[in-house]
Chains A and B, each alone.
Chain A
Amino acid sequence: MKILIVDDEKLASSRVARILNELGITDITISNDSLEASEYIVKNKYDIIFLDIQMPNMTGLELANKILELEPKTFIIFQTAYDQYAIEAFQSGGIDYILKPTTNENINNALQKVKKFLKQHQMRFQKR
């Protein structure tokens, strides 16, 4: 599972990376700049992208639109301290919305959501 974490705060991004490591995920890329991240997504394919919302240069919501235009199958998990963007975030195609402070539990839940989604889609595909 290939993961990209985009957050302008180094500690916030390294926190998500550390929790993912503890959950056994190691293929992780970190970007602390949304413009840099928008270059990464052109060159690489990621299964899951963790996105902060309030970032200088380009917001997480703008970046999500760009990501899903390029690769609609990518799962986007938003993580932010603001609760007011939840509706917009889900409308932008996010699969989950994590409120900071980020915990092992809410990252694990978000990953379970991704797994469940994939499983349901596989079952539908097999039925057809």
Chain B
Amino acid sequence: MEAVELKVSNKDWLYISIIGTLFGFFISLFFYFLNDMFQNASTVIFGTFSAFSITLFSSLFISISNNHILPNLDKKFWYIISFVFSFLSGALGFLFSYSIFYIIETPITNIIEPYSLYLTFTVGALTFLIGLILHQFISMKYKNESIKNEILNSKLKALENELNPHFLFNALNSMSELVYIDQKKAEKSILDLSKFLRNAIKTDSLIDIAEELDMVRTYVDIENIRFDTKIKLHIENKNHVNILLPKFSIQLLVENAIKHGFENKILNIYITVDKDICVSNDGKVTKDLKFGTGLSNLNNRLRLLNVGNLLYEDKQPMQFRIEVNNK
């Protein structure tokens, strides 16, 4: 139903008017050559003007319908209203043109006068059918545009979420103190962070699983400075085929596990790579989990890059699964 509420831009209306008028011109030309009695300039002028008039009525009716009628009606009536209005655009557009030509007494109106009512109905029905085709056409165009926008937005969001700045500030805070306590450890953590940041600023959207897992290890090493080595990472890679993943996808699930699962005691995080990728932990279980910004962003990136889907498996321990498409 949502396609009915499409807004037709002024540019689209200009194209529709030009195409509609040309359509009327050629149809009238067709009739002009079809029979001797139509071989009059008024046939072509009337046909062209009628088509132009129909597009004007369509523009008027669709604008009124979209701006004033549809927003106040239940969606189940939208199609009926649109059908009625497209029919009326054709019928009234034709009648308007016919009335003008009738008043100025042109030869064509004299010929079609006995059939004017049938013709009005037929033109209305034709306009409805053409409107239906145009509707499909414009809705396809809008769908394409919205997909493009979604990709762009997801890319932007992905960039925004690739590196959680809070993680960075917390890590830097801990490192600043570690310098006073254990200089060797502080040096290692600074080098880890620099390695992590180097990967973060890489422009590739997809990276291979080995690289992602390496980044996860570095990430957990950095987090362990803060959490006193209470985060234990267990990685099992059973897959021998290389999987390409959006950058930071497993890292985000590990970050999520620490953020929501850590209870100031040992937190085991298990990553199993087989045909799919599972990330689970034995920490605090979140009830009624909802995909927040980070998880939704990851799911979008997985879908947009045609890698797979993110699933949450409602069991203990907390488990997320990246369902990979090409296994």
Contact = CB atoms under 8 A, between A and B. Distances in A.
B207 to A, nearest CB: 27
Given A81-B166, A81-B169, A81-B170, A11 B177 contact: yes
Q: Which 9 interchain pairs have the tightest Cβ spacing?
A: A15-B177, A81-B169, A100-B173, A101-B173, A11-B174, A81-B166, A11-B177, A81-B170, A9-B226
13 contacts: A8-B264, A9-B173, A9-B227, A11-B177, A12-B174, A12-B226, A14-B181, A56-B264, A56-B284, A57-B264, A81-B173, A99-B169, A102-B176
Q: Interface extent on A, as a size class?
A: 10 to 19
B29 interface: no
Nearest to B227: A9
Given A9-B174, A100-B173, 9 more contacts: A9-B227, A14-B177, A15-B176, A56-B262, A56-B264, A81-B166, A99-B169, A101-B173, A101-B176
Contacts, number: 55
A11 B178 contact: yes
A81 B95 CA distance: 71
Contact of A33 (B259, B262, B264, B284): B264
Contacts of A100: 169-170, 172-173
Classify chain B: how many residues form its interface, as a range: 20 to 34
A54 B264 CA distance: 12
B170 A9 contact: yes
Contact of B264 (A12, A15, A32, A102): A32
Contacts of B174: 9, 11-12, 15
Q: Indicate the member of B176, B259, B263 with the most A CB atoms within 10 Å.
A: B176
A86 B98 CA distance: 70
A57 B283 CA distance: 12
